[in-house]
Amino acid sequence: MPPESFIRLGERRFAYLDFGGPGPVLLALHGHFGRARIFAPLAEALAGRYRVVALDQRAHGLSDKGGDLTAETYVADAADLLRALRLGPAAVLGHSMGGTIAHILARRHPELITALVVADMTVLNQEPETHPVLDVTSWPRRAASPEELEGAIHARGIPDAGYFMDSAAEFTDGWGLLFDTADMMASQRALTGDFSAQWAASRQPALLLRAAESFILTAATARRMALMRPGTELTELPACGHWLYRDDPDGFARAVGSFLDRTLAPATRRSPAR
C-alpha cells in the first residue's frame, strides 16, 4: 500500500493513491462510504500491466468533507485530477456510486477516457428497482475500539461491516469513520434517479460487471444496460454480492485485466504508426 498523496483541486484538498508502475493508467473510483485503498488488491493484480490511481472522492476517506455532493461535482473532481496529474487519456473504473460517476465522466470528457468499467451499479438508482439510500443517521460517531465500532454498525442491520470498516480510523477521542454521516445522506439522495440517458450517451468500450447476488443491479437491468449502449460487454461474477471486488478479488481482477488487455492493447500497438 503506497502512502496517500494529497492535491488541491480548486478550493478542496483530495487524497489519492498512485500504485505506480508501467502501463496505461486506470483511474479507480469507489462507491459511497468507501475510500481509495479498497482497490489495493486490484492494483497488485494488475501491477506491471496497468498503473492504478485511486481517488478518495470528496467527503470520503482523507479528502475534504462537506460542500456540494452532486454527480456534477464528483465528475468535475475526477476530470480535474486527471488533468492536474497529466494522467489522461486513461481508463476509468467505478464501483457502485463510483460507477455512475465513471460513466458520466466518460460522456462529458471523452478526451480524457479511453475505456470504462462499471462494477455493480444500476442506471435505475431509485425505488422500486433498489433502495438507493442507506440510513446512517444513527450510526455511532465514536467507539472505544475498532471491534466496538464494527459491532455498533452490525447492530444497525449491516450483516457484513467490513466494507465500512475500511474507513475506520483512530481519532483523539476514539475510533470512528472517516466520512460524515450527514454528508453521506446528502450524497446518496443527490445521486438517486434514472441515469439511463447519461449511460447510453458515452461511446468508449465498456465492461459492465454484475455481482450474481447483487442487491443493486438486477440481471434484467444489467441486460438492458448492455443492449442500450453499443460497445458494452456484460460479465457476471458468480457467488458474489455487491462488494464483488472483496468477495472474489481474483475473478474481479481477471475480468478487469482481460477487458483492458483486449481494449487498450490494440490502440497501444497502433500508436507508433501514427
Cell output for 1: 500500500
Q: What is the pLDDT of residues 146-182, one digit of tens each?
A: 999 999 999 998 988 989 999 999 999 999 999 999 9
Band the pLDDT of 1: cuts 50, 70, 90: confident
Compute the residue count for the chain.
274
pLDDT of 268 over the 90 cut: no
Q: What is the pLDDT of residues 183-218, one digit of tens each?
A: 999 999 999 999 999 999 999 999 999 999 999 999
What's the burial of 67, exposed, middle or buried (CB within 10 Å: 0-12/13-18/19+)? middle
Q: Is residue 202 within 8 Å of 229, Cβ to Cβ? A: yes
Q: For all residues of the chain together, what is the average pLDDT? A: 95
Q: What is the pLDDT of residues 67-126, one digit of tens each?
A: 999 999 999 999 999 999 999 899 999 999 999 999 999 999 999 999 999 999 999 999
Per-residue pLDDT at 271: 39
pLDDT of 266 over the 70 cut: no
What class, spelled out in words, does domain 5-125+193-273 have in CATH?
alpha beta
Q: What are phi and psi of 234, to 5 degrees?
A: -115, 125
Per-residue pLDDT at 272: 35
What's the burial of 203, exposed, middle or buried (CB within 10 Å: 0-12/13-18/19+)? middle
Q: Is residue 89 within 8 Å of 23, Cβ to Cβ? A: no
Q: Is residue 198 within 8 Å of 104, Cβ to Cβ? A: yes
Per-residue pLDDT at 269: 39
pLDDT of 225 over the 90 cut: yes
| Percent of residues, the chain, with pLDDT higher than 90 | 93
| Rounded distance between C-alpha atoms, residue 191 and residue 23, angstroms | 33
Residues of 122-136 as b/e, b for ≥16 C-beta within 10 angstroms?
Answer: bbbbeeebbebbeeb
pLDDT of 252 over the 70 cut: yes
Query: Peptide bond before 249: cis, by omega within 30 degrees of 0?
Result: no
Neighbours of 260 (CB within 10 A): 23
Sign of the Cα pseudo-torsion (98, 103, 107, 110, in order)? positive
Q: For residues 226-232, give the mean pLDDT.
A: 97
Q: What beta strand segments (E) does 172-272 contain? A: 174-177, 193-194, 206-211, 232-237
- All CATH 3.40.50.1820 domain ranges of the chain, comma separated, are 5-125+193-273
| Percent of residues, the chain, with pLDDT higher than 70 | 97
pTM value is 0.95
Q: What are phi and psi of 149, to 5 degrees?
A: -65, -45
Q: What beta strand segments (E) does 79-160 contain? A: 90-95, 113-119, 124-125
Per-residue pLDDT at 159: 83
Band the pLDDT of 246: cuts 50, 70, 90: very high
Per-residue pLDDT at 54: 98
Band the pLDDT of 267: cuts 50, 70, 90: low
